[in-house]
């Protein structure tokens, strides 16, 4: 299923809310805000926090580097909040950029595309993502994610 612009966020929330065991996420920018334009995005993160509280394993790969080059500054507060909710957060080593935008639920369904988890990406920008239920492609995506996440470091 193709997700254009504002189609993304409701599908992302639905994907996370149906997960039973594990959620894996990768993004360049993640923004947790209570400002009016960010309330719908906040619902995504609140759902993620509820799933973690219910005992699901949640892995979150986010962009960051020590020199703050080409890094959204909101990522640092997001890293703190994710850690406060006991979500397993990692960044790539050697200042490598985490640019992939992925949400995987239970290793059998995924969204992959251009949407960051940010207000602009979910409300202003032209973005396209794809909801994938194909077992073969999701398995390959999980393998790539797992390899990358295991080599990533805890910020």
CATH code given to domain 2-151: 3.30.870.10
Cβ atoms of 59 and 24 closer than 8 Å = yes
How many angstroms separate the CA atoms of 35 and 130, rounded? Answer: 28
Helix (H, G, I), strand (E, B) or coil at 50: helix
Please give the pLDDT value at position 50: 98
Please give the pLDDT value at position 63: 85
> Which residues in the chain come in under a pLDDT of 70?
66-70
Please give the pLDDT value at position 69: 65
pTM for the predicted model, two decimal places: 0.93
Please give the pLDDT value at position 117: 94
Domain ranges of the chain: 2-151
Cβ atoms of 119 and 107 closer than 8 Å = no
How many angstroms separate the CA atoms of 130 and 102, rounded? Answer: 10
């Amino acid at each position: 299923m193709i997700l254009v612009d504002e189609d993304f966020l409701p599908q992302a929330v639905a994907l996370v809310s149906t997960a039973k065991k594990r959620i894996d996420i990768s993004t360049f920018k993640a923004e947790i805000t209570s400002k009016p334009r960010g309330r719908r995005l906040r619902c995504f993160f609140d759902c993620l926090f509820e799933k973690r509280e219910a005992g699901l394993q949640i892995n979150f790969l986010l962009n960051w580097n020590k020199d703050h080059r080409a890094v959204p500054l909101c990522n640092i507060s997001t890293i703190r909040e994710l850690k406060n909710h006991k979500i397993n957060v990692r960044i790539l080593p050697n200042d490598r950029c985490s640019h992939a935008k992925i949400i995987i639920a239970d290793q059998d369904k995924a969204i992959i595309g251009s949407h960051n988890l940010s207000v602009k990406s979910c409300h202003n920008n032209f973005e396209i993502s794809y909801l994938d239920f194909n077992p073969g492609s999701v398995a390959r995506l999980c393998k790539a994610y797992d390899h990358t996440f295991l080599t990533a470091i805890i910020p």
